[in-house]
C-alpha cells in the first residue's frame, strides 16, 4: 500500500494582502488540483464515512446525531443501567466526541507513516467493536469504555484520517465538496435516527447495536478503500506531526477561537433541542421528528454554505452563517413552543449551526496552505477535544427546572452568545495583517 498521506502538498506561496480581493486570499493558488475526476468518488466515500461516524454516533446531540439520541432515550426510559443519571449519559456522548478530537495528532502521524487506508480500516474496526461490546454491557462503566472511549477512538481514526482528502482534489470548489462531505453526517443522522428507533422496537437493544456495528464496519471499510490522493499533490515535503509553531500565526489563532466557541454552542444546541421540545409540551415522537428535521436542515444547508463560500468568500460565509445561528437561538428558539415553530427553528438553525464541520478544512488550507493543512487541522481538531467533552454537561447544568415558562432560557442565551462571539472572532480574521512571506509552519 502506498503512503497516501493527505498531509502531502505541493509548494508554498506567499500570503497576499486582504486588499487584493474582497475575501481571504488562498495560500495555495498556484497548486494545481484536478478539480474533479476521481475526486468525486472521494467526495462520496468521505460523505459515507461522515454518515457512519458522526451521523450514526448521533450523540444525542451533534449532527452527531440522532441515532445515539434514540439510543439515549432508550437507556433512560428503560433504566438500562440502573443508577446512571442523564448527566452521566451526557458525558458518554461528550467523551466519544472528545476522544475523536484528542486522538487527531496520533492519527496524523499514522496516516503519514502507514497511509489513509490503514488508518480508516483501524477506525472502522474499533467503531464496530464498540457497538458490539455495548450490546453486552451490563454496567455503566462498560458503556463508558465501549460507546465513550472505543467509539470515540474509532470515529477519530475514520474522520481525521479521511477529512482532508477531498481538499486535494479541488481548489475552486473546495468549500462545496467539503460541504457535501459534511452533509453526510446530517443524512446519516436522519436515516439512523429513524432506523435505530424502529430496530429498538422490533429487535431489541442488543441486536440493534450489533446491526449498527456491522453496517458501520462494511460501509467504512469500502469507503476507506476508495480514498486516494491525486498524484499531482504527492510531491514535496510532509507535515507529519503536530507542529505547535502554527500557534504563531494570528489567523490560525482566530480560527481556533472560532472553532472552540462554535463547537461549545453546537453541542449544547443539538443536545438540548430534543429534550427542550418535550419540556414545552411536545411528545417524545414529535421530539424525534424535530431531531430528524434538524438533521435534514444540516444535510441541505452544508452544501449550500459550501457553494456560497466558493463564490462569496469562505470567511464571509462562515462568519455570517455562525452569526445567523446565534441570532436564531436568541430570537427564534426562545419563543418557539409549538410543534410548528420548533420545526421551523430546527430546519433554519440546522442549515447554519454546523458550519464548522464544512468550513474548517477549507479555511485551514487558505491560512496555512495545502502542504501544511494536515498538521494544522490536527491541531484544530485537538483544540476541540476539551470543549466537546464538557459542552453537554454544561448544557445540562444550565437548565432551570424551577422556571416552568422558560426552563431552557439560560441554555438558549448561552448558545446564542457563543455563536455570535465566535462569528466576531472569525470575521476579525479578514483584518489581521498577513505576513508577506511564506508561512512557516
Quote the CA–CA distance of 318 and 295 in Å, as a whole number: 19
Query: Picking from 180-184, 295-299, 436-440, which range would have the lowest pLDDT averaged per residue?
Result: 436-440
Q: Report which of 406, 360, 358, 408 is spatially closest to residue 384, judged by C-alpha positions.
A: 360
pLDDT band for 406, please (50, 70, 90 cuts).
confident
pLDDT band for 57, please (50, 70, 90 cuts).
confident
Backbone torsions φ then ψ of 143, nearest 5 degrees = -70, -40
> Residue 367: what pLDDT?
85
Upper half-sphere CA count for residue 92 (Cβ side, 13 Å): 29
**395 touches 277 (CB < 8 A):** no
Domain 33-431 fold is: Growth Hormone; Chain: A; (1.20.1250)
**63 touches 325 (CB < 8 A):** no
How is the chain split into domains, by residue range?
33-431
- Reduce the DSSP state of residue 425 to 3 states and report it: helix
- Contacts for 248-253: CB closer than 8 Å, 24+ residues apart: 249/367, 249/368, 249/439, 249/441, 250/432, 250/433, 251/367, 251/429, 251/432, 251/434, 252/364, 252/367, 252/368, 252/376, 252/379
Q: Whole-model pTM?
A: 0.76
120-148 pLDDT, tens digit per residue, is: 999 999 999 998 888 887 776 777 788 77
> Residue 390: what pLDDT?
84
- Contacts for 277-283: CB closer than 8 Å, 24+ residues apart: 277/342, 279/407, 279/408, 280/336, 280/337, 280/338, 280/342, 281/337, 282/339, 282/342
Whether the pLDDT of residue 234 is over 70: the answer is: no
> Residue 418: what pLDDT?
96
76-122 pLDDT, tens digit per residue, is: 455 555 555 656 666 666 777 888 888 888 988 898 888 899 999 99
Taken in order 287, 289, 293, 298, the sign of the CA dihedral is: positive
Count of CB atoms situated within 10 Å of the CB of 409: 15
**80 touches 138 (CB < 8 A):** no
> Residue 157: what pLDDT?
94
Pairwise pLDDT comparison (328 vs 436), residue with the higher score: 328
Amino acid at each position: 500500500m502506498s503512503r497516501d498521506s493527505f498531509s502531502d502538498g505541493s509548494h508554498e506561496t506567499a500570503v497576499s494582502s486582504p486588499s487584493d480581493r474582497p475575501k481571504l486570499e488562498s495560500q495555495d493558488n498556484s497548486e494545481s488540483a484536478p478539480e474533479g475526476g476521481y475526486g468525486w468518488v472521494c467526495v462520496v466515500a468521505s460523505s459515507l464515512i461522515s454518515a457512519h461516524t458522526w451521523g450514526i454516533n448521533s450523540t444525542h446531540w451533534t449532527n452527531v446525531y440522532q441515532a445515539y439520541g434514540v439510543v439515549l432515550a432508550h437507556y433512560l426510559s428503560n433504566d438500562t443501567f440502573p443508577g446512571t443519571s442523564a448527566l452521566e449519559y451526557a458525558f458518554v456522548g461528550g467523551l466519544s466526541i472528545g476522544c475523536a478530537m484528542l486522538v487527531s495528532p496520533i492519527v496524523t502521524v499514522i496516516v503519514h507513516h502507514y497511509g489513509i487506508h490503514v488508518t480508516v480500516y483501524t477506525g472502522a474496526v474499533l467503531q464496530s467493536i464498540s457497538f458490539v461490546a455495548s450490546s453486552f454491557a451490563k454496567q455503566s462503566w462498560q458503556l463508558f469504555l465501549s460507546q465513550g472511549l472505543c467509539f470515540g477512538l474509532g470515529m477519530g481514526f475514520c474522520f481525521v484520517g479521511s477529512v482532508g482528502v477531498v481538499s486535494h482534489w479541488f481548489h475552486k470548489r473546495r468549500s462545496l465538496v467539503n460541504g457535501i462531505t459534511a452533509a453526510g453526517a446530517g443524512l446519516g443522522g436522519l436515516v439512523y435516527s429513524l432506523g435505530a428507533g424502529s430496530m429498538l422496537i422490533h429487535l431489541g437493544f442488543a441486536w440493534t447495536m450489533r446491526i449498527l456495528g456491522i453496517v458501520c464496519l462494511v460501509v467504512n471499510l469500502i469507503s476507506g478503500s476508495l480514498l486516494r490522493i491525486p498524484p499531482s499533490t504527492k510531491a514535496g515535503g510532509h507535515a507529519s506531526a503536530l507542529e505547535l509553531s502554527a500557534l504563531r500565526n494570528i489567523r490560525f489563532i482566530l480560527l481556533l477561537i472560532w472553532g472552540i466557541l462554535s463547537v461549545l454552542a453546537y453541542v449544547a444546541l443539538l443536545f438540548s433541542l430534543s429534550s427542550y421540545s418535550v419540556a414545552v409540551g411536545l411528545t417524545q415522537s414529535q421530539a424525534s421528528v424535530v431531531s430528524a428535521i434538524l438533521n435534514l436542515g444540516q444535510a441541505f444547508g452544508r452544501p449550500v454554505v459550501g457553494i456560497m463560500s466558493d463564490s462569496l468568500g469562505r470567511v464571509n460565509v462562515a462568519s455570517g452563517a455562525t452569526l445567523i445561528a446565534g441570532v436564531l437561538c436568541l430570537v427564534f428558539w426562545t419563543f418557539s413552543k409549538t410543534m410548528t415553530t420548533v420545526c421551523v427553528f430546527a430546519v433554519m438553525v440546522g442549515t447554519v449551526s454546523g458550519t464548522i464541520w464544512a468550513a474548517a478544512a477549507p479555511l485551514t488550507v487558505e491560512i496555512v496552505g495545502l502542504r501544511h493543512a494536515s498538521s494544522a487541522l490536527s491541531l484544530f481538531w485537538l483544540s476541540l477535544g476539551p470543549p466537546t467533552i464538557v459542552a453537554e454537561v454544561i448544557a445540562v447544568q444550565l437548565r432551570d427546572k424551577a422556571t416552568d415558562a422558560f426552563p431552557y432560557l439560560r441554555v438558549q442565551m448561552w448558545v446564542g452568545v457563543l455563536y455570535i462571539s465566535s462569528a466576531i472572532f472569525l470575521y476579525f480574521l479578514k483584518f489581521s495583517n498577513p505576513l508577506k512571506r511564506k508561512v512557516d509552519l
